[in-house]
Amino acid sequence: MPRTCRLKAEGIVRKDAQDNGRARQCERKERRMAKLAFLGLGVMGYPMAGHLAAADHEVCVYNRTTSKAEAWVAQHDGAFATAPREAAEGADFVMACVGNDDDLREVCLGPDGAFAGMAKGATFVDHTTVSAAVTAELYAAANEAGIAFVDAPVSGGQAGAENGQLSIMCGGDQPAYDAAEPIMQIYAKLCRRIGASGAGQMTKMCNQIAIAGLVQGLSEALHFAEKAGLDGASVVEVISQGAAGSWQMANRSETMLDGHFDHGFAVDWMRKDLGICLKTADENGASLPVTALVDQFYKDVQKMGGGRWDTSSLIARLRQMG
């Protein structure tokens, strides 16, 4: 290639690189324009809020224990507030991941609640697993205040939150979901609107119902293998490749065999969720005999001192009985 042509080509390449660089800078600036609040920095909320900050959004966090919010800011920059209302002021989206119905009401309602600080047209996204009743209550309160509300419980556990690989099941008005979906995608592997307000929480109940039976079945299989004198790891290696395979088997069988339950989703929280499922089943006429039974098995684990153990600890109950 003649020198003049080569210089022109190199100039074009440099110009393209500069243009691409400016485009990336503009893209980052556009992303930074989203002002977010995240309420609740537990084992799920802490990394979820971290993903939002890593995506260049402006994030203000709130946590009931202020020291945890301070630690988050030290790790991720951003800012923290001492009340939900303060965190929500000026935010385009307010995300919450707290403990239960009462915790959610506390961060949403009242003079210091997030709703009091949110501007009309802003969107509240609830990642907490709560009852359909409180979702209906808060959806109505948000509408009255001119705020969009999306119920968006998550599945995937602490590892899913840390790796940005959560499944998010959503309920709410389509425009509200459409606005919030790009934000949620930052920490999701799958995010989907199931239906109107409350549909996300109902879907999460389906999730917990399915998990309860799966974990009990896996616990019984591993316990049976131990009693039969079989090598549990070898049994899992074989049966995991067939119809018995599941996420629980792939991710929890090894620690179950070793008797390690200091990770994942706690029994206390699972009982809270199953209580919601059973109460809702009484209201809508669904029959959940296995779920009701496994709920009582988890009660036994609590009596063993395992309230903070992972839900896979059902096998410890069988070992104690055996």
Show which residues are catalytic. Answer: 204
Beta-bridge mates of residue 167: 155, 190
Write out the two tokens for 312.
Answer: 């896979």
Q: How is residue 309 annotated by DSSP? A: S
Q: Max Cα separation, the chain? A: 85
Q: Which of 203, 204, 191, 192 is nearest to 273 (CA)?
A: 204
Provide CB contacts within 8 A for 112, sequence distance 6+.
83, 84, 85
Q: Which of 183, 143, 177 is nearest to 56 (CA)?
A: 183
Distance CA 53, CA 76 (A): 6
Do residues 279 and 295 lie in contact, with contact meaning Cβ atoms separated by under 8 Å? no
Write out the two tokens for 171.
Answer: 């309920």
Q: Which of 256, 71, 47 is nearest to 159 (CA)?
A: 47
Q: Which of 135, 169, 147, 143 is nearest to 280 (CA)?
A: 135
Angle between helices 314-321 and 289-303 (to 10 degrees): 70
